[in-house]
Amino acid sequence: MIELLAATAIALHQGAQPDPKLDWWRDARFGMFIHWGLYAVPAGSWEDKGTGHAEWIRTTAQIPLETYDKFVHEFNPLNFDADAWCEMASDAGMGYVVITSKHHDGFCLFDSQHTDFDIMSTPFKRDIMKELAEAAPKHDVRMSWYHSIMDWHHPDYLPRRGWEKQRADDGADMKRYRNYLHNQVTELLTNYGPVGIMWFDGEWESTWRGDYGRELYELCVELQPEVIVNNRLGARGGMEGITGVEGFVGGYAGDYMTPEQEIPDAVGKGIDWETCMTMNDRWGYNLLDKNFKSTTDLLQKLSDIVSKNGNFLLNIGPKPDGTFPEESVQRLSEIGDWMDVNAKAIHGTVGSPFKELEWGRATQKFHKDSTTLYMHVFDWPSSGSLIIPGLAGEVLSARVLGGDDVPFTMEAGKVRLDIPRAKPNKHIGVIAVEVQGKPVIFEEPTISAPVTEFVQDVEVTLDVGSEGLEIKYWIVLKRNELALDNFMVSFTYDGPFIVSESATVYAQCFDGEIPVSSMVSKEFIKVTPWKPSHRTAREGICKQTYNGTWDTIPDFSKLDVVSTVEGTVIKCADKEFIGEVYTGLLQVQNSGTIVFALASDDGSRLSIDGKVVVDNDGLHGDRGKRGYAPLARGNHEFVLEWFNKSGGATLELQIGKLGGPLQRVTDRLIVE
């Protein structure tokens, strides 16, 4: 019961719905990623193609299929020890292991009845997945599979690599390939006992559709209802792995988001996420890649991620003999030493209640009547005094994890800890601070609104992170030049309010009648709408199409037009290496602030009257952005640019009045 209440508290704190399926994963916070396969044999180097390759070597070094297949006869990892791998993960404080059952090269580390391109065709002839699945429970880790949607080996997978001129695709059938993929996923979720996570990848090519991802998700949960499925089924939104998924709570968007090689600055409540990251520069084994992150850096990344309610999936690229690189073993051991003392500051915790701490990060753990705040001190003060800014309420105790209690004093809006001058370890010192109930944090309020320039009025929202504080605010009209203190009494914030004239909004947090934060402000300007165009003759939408490969939107005016279609709809071509420009007149029937929501894969840009309103440029997955424009009644020049380099092709525009519903635009450029 205690564990259930704790899991529910974590989920509610994150803004997520309680989900027993995700409870263990949210509690673990830390996992091991393993990229291993035939690509370990060449160890990152290939003939005259250089030494910078890894798991993508078949395509980055352009190795013909018949040549790459010969690695099957060289892959013989006699030193592989499933128990040793799982033990290292457990000792490092990791709660789960995700290993490549199949990477993009199509080679399978398990005994599959649907291909001979697997581990049983090697001299090793042992089912790697079976041995790991049997070892994992002994070491209290959950075994999970990474399985590639993309497959450079299967004859039915499309598209071929661009350099494979000699490998014909005649007769290739993606429907038949999807059947093969489903059969292998069925094997992985049937033959190896309970699986923690199905971690998919390789979903970005144009032959893969969102419905395919939904079908794959449904297959997984049908076979194992408790399995967690990541979001790389068609709704990832680029390497950042979080954008473009608003409104999805499952289905083909998966159960959690997967930023890659980066830690987001901030993640909205209600989103479960996991950063996957390499220890050095590459995922698979590269003999010459010695650019390993330090143990301190890795631990600080772990603290940073968990302080933002995320999980950390840290990668190992094993050698062809079945052992981990020595540098990886050393770092895992040192991480384990730190976790032996400080794991309680990671496992079962939720994110920081503080917006920012200049000396480190914080996590927290809720109890029935109290909360433990774990202060992850990156920069340990040699003065012996650590200030926790903004912490109020009743502090019950403080102690260094692995050390002694420390004296503390509560001052106005902060707590001072008298800590040892010597750092407890060379990585991160952690101080556990016990507070009565939930922590009260004295923070500046935030002032939020869709726009700061408006035509008629704008709704303003105020917020402060901690419970128990009031926000008082003042609205100072721009026409009044009196000082704030002499102008008007404050309002106590109890919900969104409307600003109808140019004004500055001031806000401050109070504990009772005592101000406990600095004052913040935001200026709102009532503007004159953009004048309409005098053009009235042209109606409908014109589309011009271009061919090319770009990473950002090009200057289409300097390129050759492939085709022009008048009176068309906004619906992008489902092709690669293409660009489109839609032009027309946007009819605004009533003056006001107009909202534009533009989603695309890859880049797009919307301009009204020659001014960029939404810039969604660059290479990315299906990502949405919003923009606003104050427009007068009448016709306005409309230009929508879009391009797709490779992968999924999407383009969708929605328009509406500020504060009202948005309508999808197809053929009618009208705002009522």
Amino acid identity, residue 22?
Answer: L
The confidence score (pLDDT) of residue 512 equals 83
Tell me: do 302 and 364 sit in the same domain: no
How does pLDDT run across 369-413, given as a tens digit for each residue? 999 999 999 999 999 999 999 898 899 999 999 999 999 999 877
Q: Quick check: is 347 in a domain?
A: no
Assigned token pair, 413 = 């809006």
Tell me: do 314 and 460 sit in the same domain: no
Q: Quick check: is 352 in a domain?
A: no
The confidence score (pLDDT) of residue 254 equals 86
Does the N-terminal peptide bond of residue 602 adopt cis geometry, omega within 30 degrees of 0?
yes
**Full DSSP string of 422-490:** S-SSSS-EEEEEEEESSPEE----EEE-S-SEESS-EEEEEE-SSTT-EEEEEEEETT--S-GGGT---
Task: Please report, in angstroms and rounded to a whole number, the separation of the first and last CA atoms in the chain.
Answer: 54
Whether the pLDDT of residue 11 is over 70: the answer is no
Cβ–Cβ under 8 Å, residues 369 and 378: no
Tell me: do 258 and 385 sit in the same domain: no
Whether the pLDDT of residue 5 is over 50: the answer is no
Q: Quick check: is 65 in a domain?
A: yes
Q: Quick check: is 184 in a domain?
A: yes
Report which of 269, 208, 215 is spatially closest to residue 236, judged by C-alpha positions.
208
The confidence score (pLDDT) of residue 622 equals 79
Tell me: do 284 and 301 sit in the same domain: yes
Does the reported pTM lie above 0.75? yes
How does pLDDT run across 154-211, given as a tens digit for each residue? 999 999 998 998 899 999 999 999 999 999 999 999 999 999 999 999 988 878 877 8
Sort 668 into a burial class: Cβ within 10 Å, 0-12 / 13-18 / 19+: middle
DSSP β-bridge partners for residue 653: 598
> Distance (Å, rounded) from C-alpha 302 to C-alpha 29?
9
Tell me: do 462 and 422 sit in the same domain: no
CB-based contacts of 656, cutoff 8 Å, min separation 6: 594, 595, 662, 663, 671
| Average pLDDT rounded to a whole number, residues 656-666 | 90
CATH number at residue 480: 2.60.40
Assigned token pair, 618 = 């660059």
Assigned token pair, 162 = 């661009």
The confidence score (pLDDT) of residue 247 equals 35
> Distance (Å, rounded) from C-alpha 101 to C-alpha 114?
14
Return the sign of the alpha-carbon dihedral for residues 285, 286, 288, 291: negative
Tell me: do 485 and 546 sit in the same domain: no
CATH number at residue 578: 2.60.120.1560
Domain finish residue from 340, 373, 408: 340
> Distance (Å, rounded) from C-alpha 12 to C-alpha 456?
37
**Range with lowest mean pLDDT among 231-235, 455-459, 667-671:** 231-235
Whether the pLDDT of residue 2 is over 50: the answer is no
Q: Report the b/e string of 466-503 with b at 16+ CB within 10 A.
A: beebbbbbbbbeeeeeeeeeeeeeeeebeeeeebeeeb
Residue in this structure with the two tokens 């079962």, named with its chain if needed: 348
What phi-psi label fits residue 525: left (phi over 0), alpha (psi between -120 and 50 degrees) or beta? beta
Number of folded domains that form the chain: 4
Instruction: Say whether 315 sits in a helix, a strand or coil.
Output: strand
How does pLDDT run across 176-185, given as a tens digit for each residue? 999 999 999 9
Whether the pLDDT of residue 581 is over 50: the answer is yes
Tell me: do 605 and 640 sit in the same domain: yes
Assigned token pair, 620 = 């990315």
Instruction: Say whether 564 sits in a helix, a strand or coil.
Output: strand
Q: Quick check: is 601 in a domain?
A: yes
> 239: pLDDT confidence band, cut at 50, 70 and 90?
low
How does pLDDT run across 435-493, given as a tens digit for each residue? 999 988 888 899 999 999 999 889 999 998 667 788 999 998 876 555 454 456 689 99
Question: To the nearest whole percent, how much of the chain has pLDDT over 70?
Answer: 91
Cβ–Cβ under 8 Å, residues 635 and 659: no
More confident residue, 518 or 621: 518
The confidence score (pLDDT) of residue 540 equals 87
Domain finish residue from 468, 498, 526: 526
The confidence score (pLDDT) of residue 535 equals 75
**Range with lowest mean pLDDT among 54-63, 337-346, 456-465, 577-586:** 456-465
Q: In terms of residue numbers, what domain contains 214?
A: 2-340
Tell me: do 155 and 71 sit in the same domain: yes
> 623: pLDDT confidence band, cut at 50, 70 and 90?
confident
CATH number at residue 331: 3.20.20.80
Tell me: do 431 and 328 sit in the same domain: no
Report which of 90, 97, 194, 81 is spatially closest to residue 140, judged by C-alpha positions.
90
The confidence score (pLDDT) of residue 619 equals 85
How does pLDDT run across 139-154, given as a tens digit for each residue? 999 999 999 999 999 9
The confidence score (pLDDT) of residue 3 equals 39
Q: Quick check: is 535 in a domain?
A: no
> Distance (Å, rounded) from C-alpha 304 to C-alpha 331?
18
**Full DSSP string of 206-249:** TT--HHHHHHHHHHHHHH-TT-EEBSTTT---STT-STT-TT-S
> Distance (Å, rounded) from C-alpha 192 to C-alpha 223?
12
Q: Quick check: is 206 in a domain?
A: yes
CA-to-CA separations, 552 to 543, 612, 627, in angstroms, rounded: 19, 15, 19
Tell me: do 450 and 432 sit in the same domain: no
The confidence score (pLDDT) of residue 543 equals 95
Q: Quick check: is 494 in a domain?
A: yes
Domain finish residue from 306, 340, 374: 340
The confidence score (pLDDT) of residue 266 equals 75
